[in-house]
Chains A and B, each alone.
Chain A
Amino acid sequence: RKEVEQDPGPFNVPEGATVAFNCTYSNSASQSFFWYRQDCRKEPKLLMSVYSSGNEDGRFTAQLNRASQYISLLIRDSKLSDSATYLCVVNKAGANNLFFGTGTRLTVIP
């Protein structure tokens, strides 16, 4: 079973739409959670960390449900520049390496 499962999409949404991505992780010992963004043929870049209480950064809101081992990312008022692949990433307690989902591809359409 994969460490991190994500819906690969693609998600095609119009500008201004709200879109939500979900992922699940298999290891209950996972300690830290992140959403990374990856543009085509570029490196993954940290978008935001995900905290148990949920956190928001502008138009982006991340939620974590430890009981269900479920992480979400909500993007409000989508912009063309939000088009990218969004990677759900976790790491385990005591480990420094990251486990990636396959990514969810988002295209925002004018």
Chain B
Amino acid sequence: EAGVTQFPSHSVIEKGQTVTLRCDPISGHDNLYWYRRVMGKEIKFLLHFVKESKQDESGMPNNRFLAERTGGTYSTLKVQPAELEDSGVYFCASSANRASGNTIYFGEGSWLTVV
């Protein structure tokens, strides 16, 4: 069974440009999360989808970040316009419904460098 997949694995963009990261969760997982690790810091929660609905977006840093999960399958995270401090690793994760166990599985991350 495929795990959580993310695209692109690496991206280098200039300040002011736009980047869109994509995440395909494990098939059948209703819960989808975005996390981020900037250099020297811990991994931090950004937001949580249950199916297509945003359950919790308290970790989104500002309105330059937009996450969507149309149809409740894959998700995108768009950064527009990108700033230098947005550089880091963006992890997507997914889990099944709580009633059936909620181990959270992570993707390998999208490494973003803003120059």
Which residues of A does B touch, CB under 8 Å?
Answer: 2, 4, 41-46, 87, 95-103
Nearest-Cβ distance from residue A45 to partner chain B, whole angstroms: 7
Our count of residue pairs bridging A and B at CB distance below 8 angstroms stands at 44
The size class of the interface chain B forms with chain A is 20 to 34
A44-B91 contact, Cβ under 8 Å, with A95-B56, A96-B56: yes
Whether the Cβ atoms of B42 and A96 lie closer than 8 Å is: no
Q: Roughly how many angstroms separate A98 CA and B37 CA in the complex, as a whole number?
A: 13
Nearest-Cβ distance from residue B72 to partner chain A, whole angstroms: 16
Which residues of B does A touch, CB under 8 Å?
Answer: 4, 31, 33, 35, 41-45, 48, 55-56, 59, 91, 95, 98, 102-109
A43-B45 contact, Cβ under 8 Å, with A96-B31, A96-B56, A98-B104: no
Whether the Cβ atoms of B102 and A44 lie closer than 8 Å is: no
Question: Which residues of the other chain, B, contact A101 by a CB distance below 8 angstroms?
Answer: 42
Whether the Cβ atoms of A43 and B102 lie closer than 8 Å is: no
Kindly list 8 other residue pairs between chains A and B, CB separation below 8 angstroms, not including A44-B106, A97-B56: A43-B91, A43-B107, A43-B108, A44-B91, A46-B103, A96-B102, A97-B48, A98-B104
